[in-house]
């Protein structure tokens, strides 16, 4: 959810530590920032204040922006570029905004973004 991640971005910009346990447990400070952006936040064990929902008023407020982002943000998938007709069992080489690199199963990358802990940018497939 983009607004959930936006609350983390707001924390980073303001220099607020909003999580612990490697970013897994969400502090009450995260809850306050998420509420500031219009989310409803509930405590969820064992991850703290991480369960967020979007009220109708917030959805209406951000609707135009989210529609524009959805239309413009398209993940280029390395596997789709290779139309060989065979299924590869290789992991995708991915990079983020800093020099970090990982290899990941395509299905894992497709399920949800993987963010670099150093630069907070998503890992995306690289051309080999």
Which residue is associated with the tokens 């303001």? 14
- Per the confidence metrics, is the pTM higher than 0.85? no
pLDDT given for residue 89 in this prediction: 67
pLDDT given for residue 73 in this prediction: 64
Q: Residue 80: which of 101, 106, 98 has the closest Cα?
A: 106
The domain locations on the chain are 2-72, 78-125
Mean pLDDT per block of 10 residues along the chain (128 residues) reads: 87 93 86 94 88 91 82 53 57 88 88 88 84
Residue 100: what are its φ and ψ, rounded to 5°? -65, 145
């Amino acid at each position: 959810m983009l607004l959930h991640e936006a609350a983390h971005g707001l924390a980073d910009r303001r220099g607020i530590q909003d999580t612990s346990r490697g970013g897994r447990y969400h502090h009450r400070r995260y809850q306050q920032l998420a509420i500031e952006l219009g989310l409803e936040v509930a405590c969820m064990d064992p991850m703290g204040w991480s369960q967020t929902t979007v009220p109708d008023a917030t959805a209406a407020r951000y609707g135009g922006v989210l529609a524009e982002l959805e239309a413009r943000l398209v993940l280029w998938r390395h596997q789709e570029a290779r139309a060989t007709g065979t299924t590869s069992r290789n992991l995708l080489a991915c990079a983020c905004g800093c020099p970090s690199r990982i290899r990941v199963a395509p299905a894992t990358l497709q399920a949800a973004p993987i963010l670099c802990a150093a630069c907070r940018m998503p890992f995306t497939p690289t051309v080999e």
